[in-house]
Chain A
Amino acid sequence: DGGITQSPKYLFRKEGQNVTLSCEQNLNHDAMYWYRQDPGQGLRLIYYSQIVNDFQKGDIAEGYSVSREKKESFPLTVTSAQKNPTAFYLCASMGMLAAGHNEQFFGPGTRLTVL
């Protein structure tokens, strides 16, 4: 089965702790993304990566870090510097169906709660 997996599904963190959210895809997609979604809000881009060993900040990168050592994996670390980390975190990847026709698919998400 091809797809995007995220773990854990639910995560609880104490204030001051760093936590890492996992994202893995077996779709052979080059581009991967992390979004944050707050209740009643749209998706906000945290980081994205178009190729291995390269990534770019999105609109709300402060307090987050990522790595892209393998094509399949794009983990997100939520650091203690992120002031309000409680949110729904979504990982996505993008593949090319045809020239110019790239479609983005999402993992199931991780719900992070800071206690």
Chain B
Amino acid sequence: QKEVEQNSGPLSVPEGAIASLNCTYSDRGSQSFFWYRQYSGKSPELIMSIYSNGDKEDGRFTAQLNKASQYVSLLIRDSQPSDSATYLCAPRGGGSYIPTFGRGTSLIVHP
């Protein structure tokens, strides 16, 4: 059974701080890793993808991947109230068409 673990939160951070969202996964064959943002009542929106160990930066977002530890994280710098949402981690095994979704971490950025 492939599992993806995320702390459900809520994670509460002040505006301007760094928010750190973490995800562990059980499938060692996972090759692709995705972070989605989901606002309440809306569908998930892909915000980051990472395929190799290390860091990948895109604007205020940085994804970090450590395949040996089966750990992927998302850092949000200079957090804004508009970042308040649920963040879903979704690894996908090599050759698979099906990502496995975690339950998501709720992030609240307060002014």
| B102 and A42 contact, CB distance less than 8 A | yes
Report if A78 contacts B (CB, 8 A).
Answer: no
Chain B positions 88-108 with a Cβ under 8 Å from a chain A Cβ: 88, 90, 92, 94, 97-99, 101-104
With A42-B88, A108-B42 known as contacts, the answer to whether A94 contacts B51 (CB < 8 A) is no
The residue on B at minimum CB distance from A58 is B98
Specify which of B31, B43, B94, B98 lies most central, judged by the most chain A CB atoms within 10 Å of its CB.
B43
Count residues of chain A with CB under 8 A from any CB of chain B.
22
Q: Chain B 67-111, CB within 8 Å of chain A: the 1/0 string?
A: 000000000000000000000101010100111011110000000
Count residues of chain B with CB under 8 A from any CB of chain A.
22
Report if B46 contacts A (CB, 8 A).
Answer: yes
| B46 and A104 contact, CB distance less than 8 A | yes
With A90-B43, A109-B42 known as contacts, the answer to whether A103 contacts B49 (CB < 8 A) is yes
Contact partner of B98 (CB less than 8 A), chosen from A40, A48, A103, is A48
- In the bound assembly, the distance between CA atoms of A101 and B94 in angstroms comes to 10
| A42 and B103 contact, CB distance less than 8 A | yes
| B94 and A41 contact, CB distance less than 8 A | no
| A101 and B88 contact, CB distance less than 8 A | no
Contact partner of A104 (CB less than 8 A), chosen from B31, B51, B94, B99, is B99
Q: Which residues of chain B have C-beta atoms less than 8 A from A106's C-beta?
A: 36, 43-45
| A48 and B97 contact, CB distance less than 8 A | yes
With A42-B88, A105-B46, A109-B43 known as contacts, the answer to whether A100 contacts B31 (CB < 8 A) is yes
- In the bound assembly, the distance between CA atoms of A33 and B102 in angstroms comes to 17
